[in-house]
Copies of this chain bind each other. A is one copy, B any other.
Amino acid sequence: MTTPLGPGPEFDRIRRIWGRLGKRVAGAGDDCAIVEMGGTRMALSMDVSVERVHFNLGWMSPAEIGYRAAAAALSDLAAVAAIPKGILVGLGVSGEWPEEHVAELMDGAGNAAQSVGAVVWGGDLVQSDRVIVDVAVVGEFDGAPVLRGGATAGDGLWVTGALGGPKAALDAWMNGREPEASARDRFVRPVPRAAEARWLRDRGAKAMIDLSDGLAADAGHVAAASGVQCMLDADRVPRHAAARELMDALVSGEEYELFVAMPESFGEVQAVEFVQQFGAGLTRIGSAREGRGVVVERKGKPIRMSGEFRHF
């Protein structure tokens, strides 16, 4: 673990565990491990999804479960501006699950891979009374990786897309309601911003992360890794139509949008080009400055963040 993580008990735990591995661990600590093999620089990551921890079977079809799990893992490659190449899918399902469902789930994972130009290289299929989907992803680079630790004071802080949809969907499900279609879609079909990330890298992106823990928490990881303070203007954070409160957009996790520190010279003109090219928004929501941690301001005054995103 070479890159400091932001604060929080979960991150403390991971930090201590990686710390014990000492010399046997290499490359970990960012969104991906970045390693050299035979002269090729690769990015690798793994994402485990467990039924009743990350999703419920009643919420999504098998194809959607597979799509979402693979897209979430592929988003880690996007976060370092890697080109997704292949995935391995480890699948645990009960012996009573119809084979058709297993095939649909793999189909969904294959579609997510295909959406960013990657393929399924293999995997494993085992018995488990809870559905488990574990996706390992491998990418390569056509330029420098963008890590969490490169932001410096003065950088503009930007975010892709609009935030809060996944939280709105989760809140609905947790309260026994069916989510709005657009919020549900953000949860079940996250878009790995792979091409977008490389576009941003080519325009000088200095630090980047994909939003899996929520904007406030993930900005904290960038702040910790870069040794800066991330000042976020809450009023500028683009909110998904289904997000009821501002705070929802700040803490909604599993967004898989990009939070990126761009040089000050990067401005609205380039942001418009981004929107034209990718159809997704790119919004400046703050600045990096001297200091540490994350400060969220509203109308120029810091607000208290209550709670962080946690898995339900």
Which listed residue (B20, B21, B88, B126) contacts A136, Cβ 8 A? B88
Copy number in this complex? 2
CA distance in complex: A22, B237 (Å) = 41
Q: In the complex, are the beta carbons of A86 and B26 less than 8 A apart?
A: yes
* Residues of chain B lying within 8 A (CB to CB) of residue A99: 13, 16-17
B106 close to A17 (CB less than 8 A): yes
Instruction: Please determine whether B86 and A127 come into contact, CB atoms closer than 8 angstroms.
Output: no
Judge whether A307 is part of the interface by a CB distance below 8 angstroms. no
Report the nearest B residue to A120, measured CB to CB: B25
Docked complex: A1-51 residues within 8 A CB-CB of B: 13-14, 16-18, 20-21, 23-29, 32-33, 35, 37-42, 44-50
Q: Which residue of B38, B50, B54 contacts A39 across the interface (Cβ within 8 Å)?
A: B38
Nearest neighbor of A105 in chain B, beta-carbon distance: B17
Cβ contact within 8 Å between A53 and B106: no
A122 to B30, CA, bound (A): 9
Q: How far is the CA of A88 from the CA of B137 in the complex (A)?
A: 10
Contact B114 A46 (CB under 8 A): no
Complex contact A44–B86 (CB within 8 A): yes
Within A107-124, the residues touching B (CB, 8 Å) are 107, 110-111, 113-114, 119-124
Contacts of A17 in B (CB 8 A): 99, 102-103, 106, 125
Given the complex, which residues of B lie within 8 Å of A44, measured CB to CB?
Answer: 86, 88, 121-122, 136, 138
Partner of A120, one of B26, B92, B103: B26
Give the chain B neighbours of A49 by CB distance below 8 A: 126
> What is the CB-to-nearest-CB distance from A2 to chain B, in angstroms, rounded to a whole number?
11
- Are A130 and B128 in contact (CB-based, < 8 A)? yes
Say which residue of B25, B40, B45 sits within 8 Å of A37 (CB atoms).
B40
Given the interface pairs A88-B45, A130-B130, the reply to whether A119 lies near B13 with Cβ below 8 Å is no
Q: How far is the CA of A119 from the CA of B136 in the complex (A)?
A: 16
Select A46's contact among B106, B110, B113, B122, beta carbons within 8 Å: B122
The answer to whether A26 and B121 touch across the interface, beta carbons within 8 angstroms, is yes
Q: Of the candidates B20, B37, B46, which one forms a contact with A123 in the assembled complex, judged by CB atoms under 8 Å apart?
A: B46
Question: Of all chain B residues, which has the CB nearest A41?
Answer: B38
* Known contacts A24-B113, A48-B90, A140-B38: A33-B106 contact under CB 8 Å: no
Q: Do A114 and B24 form a contact, CB below 8 Å, given A88-B45, A90-B134, A124-B46?
A: yes
**A49: nearest residue on chain B (CB-CB)?**
B126
> Which residues of B are found within 8 Å of A47, using beta-carbon distances?
90, 124
A85 at the interface (CB under 8 A from B): yes
- In the bound complex, CA of A178 to CA of B98 (Å): 37
Measured CA separation A91–B32 after assembly (Å):
16
Which partner residue on chain B sits nearest A106 by CB separation?
A: B17
A123 — which chain B residues lie within 8 A by C-beta?
28, 46
Query: What are 12 A-B residue pairs whose CB atoms fall within 8 Å in the complex?
Result: A21-B106, A24-B110, A28-B122, A37-B40, A46-B88, A47-B90, A48-B90, A48-B124, A48-B134, A128-B130, A129-B130, A138-B138
